[in-house]
Amino acid sequence: MQTFCEDTFEFKTLVDPVATYQFKEIPESPTLRIVPGRPVRAVCVTPSQVRVNESFVYHLKLEDTWGNPIDKPTEMWHLGFPSAGVNTIVAKDGKTELSSRSNPIEVTSNKVSLHPYWGDFHGQSEETIDTNTIEDYLTFARDYALLDICAHQG
């Protein structure tokens, strides 16, 4: 069984009606919805770069054993760091007590012209060779993976 969520996982059903090893697909195979399991891990996602004393939004995601998000990430605010350097923060989910250290955050004292962005340029959906809809892919990229940029290959 697969480990990622899918709205309509199809059990392809074929029959050999006259025992000739000529299998035929039935018109409608049964489907089921694959949903996330219980939360076992927290993931803290922060901006990769901020300025000194600049407040910023960060997120805490809860995931199941296979990395599926349990729900939309929780949005949190940080008041900022007082000096330049590389920092991390630790976030904790009050309900599950799961916690996570964030990705590194570069804190700069000067305005910089180039900023890191996170993206996925090779998205697939059931319209091509993968699963779920284009809308599901785009929603996941924006609301769950918290990407800055994404593209669909299709």
User: Distance between the two ends of the chain, CA-based, in angstroms?
Assistant: 26
> What are the tokens at 109?
């004292």
Domains of the chain: 1-35 (no CATH), 38-116 (2.60.40), 117-154 (no CATH)
pLDDT value at 1 more than 80: no
Q: What is the pLDDT of residue 146?
A: 96
14-29: pLDDT as tens digits: 999 999 999 999 999 8
Question: Alpha-carbon torsion 24, 28, 32, 34, what sign?
Answer: positive
pLDDT value at 154 more than 80: no
Identify which has the larger pLDDT, 123 or 107: 107
Asked if 105 contacts 80 with a C-beta cutoff of 8 angstroms, the reply is no
81-103: pLDDT as tens digits: 999 999 999 999 999 999 999 99
Mean pLDDT, the chain, integer: 94
User: What single string gives the DSSP state of each residue in the chain?
Assistant: --SS-EEEEE---EE-TTSSS--EE-SS--EEEE------EEEEE--SEEETT--EEEEEEEE-TTS-BSSSPEEEEE---SSSEEE--EEE-TTT--EEEPPPEEEESS--S-----EEEEE--TTTTSSS-HHHHHHIIIIIS--SEEEE--
